[in-house]
Amino acid sequence: FNSEHLLRSENLPFDIDNWYPQLKQWTFETVFLPLSRGEGRALIRAYRFRFLSGGFVGIEDAEALRRLEDRIDDAICDHFADTGCFMRLCGRSAKDGDPLDRGRVQREYKEALERIAGPPGGPRTAPSAAVTMQAAMAVEVLRCWTGAEVMSILLSSERVYSDMLDWLWFGEPEQIVLRRWEDGLTQDLEFRLYVHDNRLTAISQYDHYCRHEHLF
């Protein structure tokens, strides 16, 4: 067992597919799409071919990925057509993946920076580190409206690649998880909660790289 597998196996009890049934009435609508082993292998081969210069993507792999995209498309249309969704796996998100439209990310960042800086011709806020952080938090990089957008993230995420390998090697099944997108949930409103003996003992920022002054 490598360290990656040990870390994943230790955290299995806290995966979303384990706690969601008990907490679904208090959290965001969530849809689970179980993956077949063929889909897992296709995701692995596509990542290796694109990023590691290894192997090839065969016709069966391409067909498996196309059918997976269709399944995701159907789930989004049925459940999240009005809001879009956030895609993750059971144990963690694919936040290292590339969005389908990188230009959209740049446009949204510039638009957010302009809104925060103030109207043209009026008082303007200098683009400090705090201002640029606010603009970055306003960018909906991981918001997906289509199966193609989800697949772009899946196929470019090293986290997904690693978890697919772990599943196929060691056997803990994996699922794609689609959660309703919440406009008001920005990075500054994500927290880590620490529980000991069924008691909440501490809360901290999830984002530990900067201090969000309005939280203190």
Residue-wise pLDDT for 33-44, tens only, equals: 999 999 999 999
- Alpha-carbon distance of 123 to 119, in angstroms, equals 7
- Burial string for 127-140 (b: 16+ CB within 10 Å, else e) reads eeeeeebbbbebbb
One-letter amino acid of 111:
E
- pLDDT given at position 64: 98
* Residue 59 shares a structural domain with residue 155: yes
* Residue 117 shares a structural domain with residue 167: no
- pLDDT given at position 50: 94
- pLDDT given at position 135: 60
- pLDDT given at position 106: 87
pTM: 0.86
**Length of the chain (residues):** 216
- Nearest 5°: CA angle at 60, between 42 and 84? 55
Which residue range(s) make up the domain with 203? 186-216
Total number of domains constituting the chain: 3
- The low-confidence residues of the chain, meaning pLDDT below 70, are 1-2, 121-135, 137-138
Tell me which of 141, 173, 205 is where a domain ends.
141
* Residue 106 shares a structural domain with residue 170: no
Could you tell me the two tokens for 216? 């203190």
* Residue 15 shares a structural domain with residue 74: yes
Residue 37 backbone dihedrals phi, psi, to 5 degrees: -65, -35
- pLDDT given at position 27: 96
Tell me which of 141, 173, 196 is where a domain ends.
141
Tell me which of 85, 115, 141 is where a domain ends.
141
* Residue 147 shares a structural domain with residue 53: yes
Burial of residue 174, with CB atoms counted within 10 A of its CB: 0-12 exposed, 13-18 middle, 19 or more buried: buried
